[in-house]
Chains A and B, each alone.
Chain A
Amino acid sequence: MSSEQNERKGLNFRIELKLHPAEEGMRELKNWPANEFSPDFAVAASGVMRIELAGQMIGSRENQIMLVETRLAQRLQEDINFWLPDYLGGFSTNLGRAVQKLKDGADQSRAAFIDEPMALVFRRQAAGSPILVGFESNGKGLRMAEVSETELYAEIKRALESFRRQLLDLNPELARQSDVLELNQQIQGIS
């Protein structure tokens, strides 16, 4: 286990963004800017995300969202899907905006999924207190964790950087694409 993984092991909130485009999306991402996106970067850059809050993983099975203790998740991954799909190209910038809003002093913000009524919500408590990070599905809060501001920003910055890196590994030219530029600005702003 790397030192970074060890460091993150005790975190109350973890998020992984994995680029997983469809065949067409992969082609468009690789060939940009010669070929434009059809119809949008967010669609081309589809993928999946994995979220862990306060020792539990968010999973789904037969169209039902469920929470599973992280220590059990690996054994259950054949039966429960812990990677939630979405238009990640859009969700990632939603996540960046939500963090920016918090950093600008807002009491709360949210990063909504693009294709399902689910969201990560962030609520500031009293000044200096940890941020409450929650996961909502269909308007209902399913899980909440307290995360220090520093840890929250670091984790989201790491996840967004990883997602941006996955895009640039496919095609370095994407660094000039407007959504990726916005993503980069958001990452820089989290520092």
Chain B
Amino acid sequence: MKKKISGLVLGLALLLTACGGTPTATPSPAPQPTNSPIPPAVTTTAPNRAVNTTVAAQGQAATVATSSSDLLKVRPEKEVVKSFTDLQNRNIKLVYGRGNGRGGDYGWAHIIGKHFQGIWYDGGTITTFPQAVGAKTPEAVLDLVGKTFQDKTPDDAGNGRRSYVYAVPGTNKDIFSVVGSDGTIITSYPVPHGSKDENS
């Protein structure tokens, strides 16, 4: 009975939200359909293309990963998937990190798990590369992550933590990357264009 009442209240609440029941509230459109994990098979069907190798210029990749299947494989936490140098000549490394679909994840495992495959169990929203900017392969995601380090004016939020933005051509989206105090990439994901650039 309690469950039934809860269901009725939920239905009413959803209806109110959908109808804009409160004048100051606008329901957020769902950018992604679900937070259910996408079966790995979906992502492993991506073409097994090789990625370009070693580029040492500033703002570019310094070392390189290999292929879709390599990019989806589980690695030791500290294994470097790819390293970069930003335009300020600082070293940035993308390690495999952790990716269990929970808070406390970071690195490539987190980017691929949450922001590519949509695997996330902790609630909130899930912004993914395929939905937001059409990046449908791990290589495409890795390429976009790397491009953020061409940012001429990364935001230094304090304690050595920095964020970088790359405007994706032909879209109204930016890719936003956050780098930890030791130069390790924590996360990277698409955001509305300009939303992380505000000087505030």
Which A residues lie at the B interface, using CB under 8 A? 20-25, 38-44, 46-48, 54, 56, 60-69, 72, 75-76, 78-81, 83-87, 90, 93-94, 97-98, 101, 106, 108-110, 112, 114-119, 136-144, 178-179, 182
Inter-subunit contact B123/A84 (CB<8 Å): yes
Contact A138-B186, Cβ < 8 Å, known A40-B180, A67-B22: no
Which B residues lie at the A interface, using CB under 8 A? 5-7, 9-10, 13-14, 17, 22, 24-35, 77, 95, 97-98, 100, 102-107, 114, 122-127, 157-159, 161, 176, 178, 180-182, 184, 186-187, 189-192, 194-196, 198, 200
Contact A80-B13, Cβ < 8 Å, known A22-B102, A94-B157: yes
User: How many whole Å from B128's CB to the nearest CB in chain A?
Assistant: 10
Our count of residue pairs bridging A and B at CB distance below 8 angstroms stands at 182
Residues of B with C-beta under 8 A to A24: 98, 104
Inter-subunit contact B28/A39 (CB<8 Å): no
User: How many whole Å from A191's CB to the nearest CB in chain B?
Assistant: 20
Alpha-carbon gap, A110 to B43, bound state (A): 36
The secondary-structure label for the interface of chain B is loop
Alpha-carbon gap, A76 to B1, bound state (A): 14
Alpha-carbon gap, A56 to B186, bound state (A): 32
Inter-subunit contact B200/A114 (CB<8 Å): no
Contact A64-B27, Cβ < 8 Å, known A39-B95, A106-B200: yes
Residues of A with C-beta under 8 A to B33: 63
Residues of B with C-beta under 8 A to A39: 95, 97, 106-107, 180-182, 184, 186
Inter-subunit contact B159/A179 (CB<8 Å): yes
Kindly list the 8 A-B residue pairs having the minimum CB-CB distance in the complex, ordered from nearest.
A22-B104, A40-B180, A139-B192, A81-B123, A39-B184, A46-B103, A65-B28, A117-B191
Alpha-carbon gap, A108 to B35, bound state (A): 33
17 inter-chain pairs at a CB distance below 8 angstroms, sorted by A residue, are A39-B106, A39-B182, A40-B181, A46-B104, A56-B25, A66-B17, A66-B27, A66-B28, A76-B10, A79-B10, A80-B13, A86-B103, A87-B103, A97-B158, A116-B189, A119-B195, A140-B28
The one of B26, B28, B178, B181 in contact with A114, judged by C-beta atoms closer than 8 angstroms, is B178
Residues of A with C-beta under 8 A to B102: 22
User: How many whole Å from A136's CB to the nearest CB in chain B?
Assistant: 8
The one of A80, A97, A143 in contact with B25, judged by C-beta atoms closer than 8 angstroms, is A143
